[in-house]
Chain A
Amino acid sequence: MLDYTPKEIKKRSSGTVINPAKTCQPIGAMYAALGIHGCLPHSHGSQGCCSFHRMHLTRHFRDPIMASTSSFTEGASVFGGGANLKTAIKNVFTLYNPDVMAIHTTCLSETIGDDIPATIRQAEIPEGKIVFHANTPSYQGSHITGFSNMTKAMVTYFSEKTTEQPKEQTNLIPGFVNPGDMRELKRIFEAMGLTYIMFPDTSGVVDSPMTGKFEMYPKGGVTIDQLKDTGNSKITLSLGRFSSEAAAEALKKKCKVPFISLKTPIGIKATDDMLMALRGSFAAEVPYELEEERGQLVDVMTDAHFHFHNKKVAIFGDPDIVAGLTEFVLSLGMKPIHILTGTPGGALGSKMYSFEDEINDMLQSAGITANVKADSDLLELHQWIKNQPVDLLIGNTYGKYIAKAEDIPFVRVGFPILDRAIHSYMPIVGYRGAMRLLEMIDNALLDRADRDAADEDFELVM
C-alpha cells in the first residue's frame, strides 16, 4: 500500500514537511544560470548539492546539465569556503573554459558566511571571462526564490544604461518555465515584430538538438552583451511575479526601465493581457497570425466546453504556474477547489500581494470557495482531496502518488516532471500553449470516461 495519508486532518505545528511541493533555492539558480550563453553554473557548497541538482534537472529535461562545485570538505566548513572558491574559479576556467561562471551559494556556505564578492575580486579570472554570483540560502523560500535571485543578479551585475533615449526593445523575463515556453514567447514577440531581450533563456541549452556531438555550451542562452543592453530597453515585461518581478524591479531601480508585471501567460486572458501590454507600449499591431490562433483557441474551448463544466480540479506546483492554471481552468468552467504551492507565498517582498490573496480574488469573482494555501506540502493536498474529492489533478510528477491512491485523472504540468518525456519541448504559454493544455486536460478526462464506462454507456462520439 502506497497511501499513508490519513483522511483526518490534524493540525501540525512542528513545521515538518511531509511530501514536499517545493525544493531548495540553488537548483532554481542553477537553472536560471543555464539560460546565459556559454555559462557554467557553479555550486558553492558540498558536492552533493551540485550532484542532486544536476540529477534532478537532467531527469526533467533529459539533456546533459553541466555545473561545477566547490566540493566543500570539513576544512572548508571550519575555515570558510573562500579558498575552495578561489581554487574552483581557477580550475573551472582551466578545465571547462566557459565565458561566464555563475556562482550560487548553498545553505552551508551561507551559514558559514562566505563573502563571495570579496573572493571573486581576489580570484584569478582570465581576461575577458566573467564571474558573478547570487546568494541562494536553501533555508529561505524555494527553488523559485533561487531562480528569482539568480535572474536578479543578472541585472545587478550586468545591466547598464548607456543610451540617452531608451531603445525600442523589451526586456522579457519569462520566469521559471520550460524552454518550450521560452521558444513560444519568442515566437509571439517575433510575430508582433518586436525587438526583445529575453533573460534567462534556456531554449537551445537544455533542449538542444541531437547532432551526435556533445556541446558543453550549446548555442542557446542570452549573451552578456544583451544583458548589459537590458538597461537601455524601453520597458520590461515580467511574467510571473514570484520568479521574475525582483529582476524587473532591480532594472527599474538601476536603469530606470519601467516594468509591467503580468501573470505567466497561461490561458486566453493572461495571453490577451500580455499582447495588450505590448500593443500599448509599442503601438505594435497584433498580427493576423496571433489573432487566428486566438480564434482557434476560443473555437476549441467552445467545441469541448461541455467536457469541462463543473469538473472539480486540484492544482499544485509553483506559484506563478498555479496562478495561470487557476485562471485558465476557471475560464473553461471548471471548479478549482484545492490550490496549493510549497513556495512561501508572500515573504519574498513585504509589499507583495500574497499567493493566497491572488488566488482567492480569482475564485471570489467566479463564486467558488476553495482550499488555498502557500508554503504547504502534498500530504495536506492529499488530505483535502480525501475529504473533498476532485475529477482532475494538475501538477508536477509528485502528484502521481495522489492520483494513484485516489484514482483520479492526472495532468502533468510544471517542475519537475520526471516520469514523462518531451514535455519540456512543448509550450503551455500563449494561445498555442493553451490549446495544448486544453488537449491534455480533455484527453485525461475523456480517457477516464472511456475507461470507466459500462458497456452500454461506452460512446463512440464524445
Chain B
Amino acid sequence: MNAELSAIELSIKEREDFIATKGKQKKQLRCDAESIAGCVSQRACVFCGARVVLNPITDAIHLIHGPIGCASYTWDIRGSLSSGTELYRNSFSTDLKEQDVIFGGEKKLARAIDELVAAYHAKLIFVYSTCIVGVIGDDIEAVCRAAMVRHHIKVIPVQSSGFIGNKSAGYRAACDSLLSLIHTEKKISKKPKSVNYLGDFNLAGEAWIIRDYLARIGVTVSTVFTGDASYEELKTAPAASLNIIQCAGSMAYLAKQMEELYHIPYLRISFLGIEDTAVTLRNIAEYFEDPEMQQKVEILIEEESRKVTDELSFYRKKLEGKKAAVYVGGGFKAISLIKQFREIGMEVVMVGTQTGQPDDYDTINGLVTEGTVVLDDANPAELEKFMIEQGANLLVGGVKERPLAYKLGVAFVDHNHERKHPLSGFVGAVNFAREVYSTVCSPVWRSIQMKTPWGE
C-alpha cells in the first residue's frame, strides 16, 4: 500500500465529506456536487451524458456541432444493439474550425443538416451543442427550427454544452430533447397494460430480454427509452399506461415530466439480479391489479429461476467469501449490484458512484455491512486506496477503472458500455456470475502473486 497516496487523500478537506465508512461515523454523504478543479475525476460532461442517453435511437442522425473531438470520442462507443437500422453508429460532426469560431457556426450547421438530409433521408436529426457552441453563441434552436420547416422532418436541438454542469445535467438535456420529440397536441387514447421502459440502452440486447419477459406476462412495451428506439416508436410513448424506470439517474426526470404532461405514473424498478428481477415483475403485476398477470409472473419466475439455479450455485460455491468493490455511474446500479453479489456469495466492501443522489446513498447505506466504504465521485487514488485496504478481489466499473484494477492484481467486470453479455434478468444474472467467475478465478492472477524466481 502506498503511504503517500493515503496521506494525500486525507490532506484534502474538500474530499472528506464525499467518503464514509459504514458504522464509523454518522454523516450524510455529500454528493451531486461539482468535482473540484485539479481532480483526476472519473466523471464526464454534459455532452457525454446527453450523447450516451440519445445514442441508442437507431434511425436518427446524431450530428455533433463542434470541433471534431466530441464526435470522435463518442463514435459507436456504446454497445447498444439495434433490431433495424444502424444509422446511429455513424459519426457526424460539423468539425468547427477557427473561422467558424470567429464568425459563428450557424450557417455551417444549416448546410450540414441540408446535406445529411439529402444523403440519408432520415426523419430525425439530433443536433448536439458542445462547449464552444455555448460560448460563441450559435442559436442552434433557431437553426433546427428553420431546418424542420425546410425539410419537414424532426430536427431536435440538444443543449449539451459541456461546461454547463456534469453528466447528470446532460441526462436532463437529453430528456428535454426527448420530451420535445414526443410532444403531441392530439388527444391520447391510452393503451391498456402497456409500459414505457425507461433507462435501458439495450446494451448487449438487454432490453430485448425484458421485452420478452413482459410479453410473457401480458404487458406490451410501447417504447424503450432509449435502447433500440426509433422515431415512430418514440412517438407512441405518451399512450402508455405506466412508466418503469431502470436507470433512474438518467431517466427519473423524464418520468416525472411524463407524469405531469401525459398522466403516466411511474415505478422505479431494476432488472439486475434474480432478486430484483422477481420483485420488479411482481410489482408490475401488482400495479395492474391483474390476478392472471400475477399468476403468469409466478410461472415465469419459477421457470426462469429453474433454468439458472444449477449454474448459479456452481458459481456461488466458487465465489463464496470473495470481496467486491463497486464503482459505477448511477445509484440504481450500485444498489442492484450489492444485492446481486449477495446472490453469488460475495460481499461488497467498497461502493461508489459518479452521479448517485442522496436517497441512493441512503439505500446503499441500508444494504451494506459494517465497515464498507461508501464514496461519491471517487478519483483513482481513492479507488486504489480503498480496494487495497478493504482487500477487494474484484472491481466492477467502467473503461477507465479496468487497467487500474488489473495493475493492482484485482479482477474486473465492466458493467458499463463495454459489457459483452446482457446482464439483465435471470439470464443476465448467470452471465454476470459467469463473468465474475471467469475473471476472479482466472489463473493469470497467480502469475502476479508468484515472485520472480531469482528474488528481488
Contacts and interface: CB of A to CB of B under 8 A. Distances in A.
Interface stretch (A15-23, A167-175, A295-303): A15-23
Nearest to B407: A214
Contacts of B97: 15, 139-140
Interface in A31-79: 40, 42, 45-56, 58-59, 61-74, 76-77
B370 to A, nearest CB: 27
B98 interface: yes
Contacts of B131: 45-46, 72, 77, 106-108, 111
Nearest to B40: A68
A42 B41 CA distance: 12
Contact of B75 (A16, A45, A96, A398): A398
B162 interface: yes
A74 B163 CA distance: 6
Given A16-B115, A107-B132, A64 B87 contact: no
Given A73-B163, A107-B132, A52 B69 contact: yes
Interface string A74-93: 10110000001101111110
Which of B48, B96, B108 has most A Cβ within 10 Å? Answer: B48
Interface stretch (B212-220, B317-325, B395-403, B420-428): B395-403
A76 B43 CA distance: 18
B197 interface: no
A47 B48 CA distance: 10
A112 interface: yes
A112 B45 CA distance: 18
A62 B100 contact: no
Interface residues of B, number: 82
A107 B48 contact: no
B86 interface: yes
A342 B318 CA distance: 50
Interface residues of A, number: 83
A449 interface: no
A321 to B, nearest CB: 17
Contacts of B400: 51, 54-55, 58, 64-65
B109 to A, nearest CB: 9
Which of B38, B119, B130, B132 has most A Cβ within 10 Å? Answer: B38
B120 to A, nearest CB: 7
A69 B42 CA distance: 10
Given A26-B69, A46-B131, A19 B91 contact: yes
B408 A20 contact: no
Interface of B: 2, 4-5, 8-9, 11-12, 34-48, 63, 66-75, 85-87, 89-98, 100-101, 108, 111-112, 114-116, 119-120, 130-132, 134-136, 162-166, 379-381, 384, 399-400, 402-404, 406-409, 448-449
16 contacts: A12-B115, A13-B115, A16-B95, A16-B111, A17-B71, A18-B90, A46-B46, A63-B407, A64-B403, A69-B39, A85-B37, A88-B37, A88-B38, A91-B39, A111-B101, A139-B97
